[in-house]
Amino acid sequence: MHFFKRKFRIRRNFFQKSEKKKKDEHYWKNGGVLLTDLITTFGPRYKIPIRHFSAEEIISATNGFREMVGISDSDGRMYSGFLEGRPILVKKCEGGDWILKCLIRSVTINSQMSHHKNVLKLLGCCLEFEHPALIYDFCGTDLLSDILHDESDCRRSLSWTSRLRIASEIASVIAYLHNAFPTPIIFRDIKPKNVIIDQHGVAKLFGFSLSISLPPGKLQVEDNVRGTFGYLDPAYLVSNIVTQKTDVYSFGVLLLQLLTGRKVWLVNQFWSSNIFEFLINIIVTAELDGLVDPRILGEGGGVEQMEQIQAYLHLALRCVLHDQEDRPFIVDVAKELRKIERYSHQLPPLGSTWNTICSLIKVVDPKTWPQLQSDPSVSSPTLICLTQPEILCCN
């Protein structure tokens, strides 16, 4: 009996030491990559206002990752938990080396943005798993995409005022990324699925894993195409060049979705990376009412609301113009949205709005998509479809 007890203790100690060694290896590997990314991005004077949690703490807080919530993307899933007397969200990830780079990037950027009221607050991370786990403050699980596209639940319907405020809040986050750091940081994945609406109706942006910094003194950087088809800047798709206007385009698509309540979808049997065909088809065959989400029109906001909508549409269309030079910078977009919110915006002439709409006809001809599909920087030949409207490209 003593022999078996001794053998059991030896085996148990062996596995405990082996497990500790593995955690230590993960910690130093992940920590080293994180430190390198922080120094590269922000220089030696960075601050890390987040904590490191042990694997045991996170496993215990999530009850063994039991309660998965409906928030996930290509690099991980979210779990709810309770840690130190507060509810949390934990992002647990699996995948190859590119997943590690995405996660480290998310920690790097998010740690410097957690003070912003419109960013999902990152409390800390755990480096003891094979890939870092990210621990967020729990503020709800209502994604903007779910609220916008769930027509069956009128309780979650967003008023026009709420949509304007959400647009303004997300614009302020992107403007901060572009202007508050030594070099602009481009988010590259602006979409409704990366926005949580908390219990007070406040928009919280998350998912910084595809963000990229522009080189010092440069206005652009070349990188493989990354983001979600349907929100990707056509110029970026064909050139691999990232600029501040890359985010402006994606934000413009988000603005249009807030206005129309529609998903990015397939039109006229062509693969498309935009919703211009829908917009042009509606505008040339119907009044402005045909473009606006019926739930907004049902509010009966009157002349003031329709004038706000016209100014908003004009701004959104400028953001998605095909030529980057013709798009405004995000800081100017944020200012315009605040003016529209206060109803102090000078209404653009109908003619100028129509000219902006007509200029959208210059978008990439759908017949050119086969050429794009053969581009090795695009991981999938499928761009957009009705059943799978958002495909993440992270090669």
Catalytic residues: 189
**Angle, nearest 10°, between helix axes 97-111 and 2-42?**
60
Instruction: Give dist(CA 380, CA 66) in Å, integer.
Output: 32
**3-state class (DSSP) for residue 220:** coil
Q: Are strands 122-126 and 51-52 parallel, antiparallel or unpaired?
A: parallel
Query: For residue 23, what is the enclosing H or E element?
Result: helix 2-42
- Name residue 272's amino acid: S
What radius of gyration, in Å, describes the C-alpha atoms of the chain? 23
- Helix, strand and coil in the chain, % to nearest 5: 50, 15, 35
- Name residue 179's amino acid: N
**Angle, nearest 10°, between helix axes 302-319 and 330-341?**
180
Residues in contact with 209: Cβ distance below 8 Å, sequence separation at least 6, in sequence order: 75, 102, 103, 105, 106, 189
Nearest CA to 323 among 257, 236, 214, 213?
Answer: 236
Q: Tell me how far the alpha carbon of residue 188 is from its chain's centroid.
A: 7
- Name residue 386's amino acid: L
Q: Which residue has the tokens 């003016």?
A: 339
- CA end-to-end span of the chain: 57
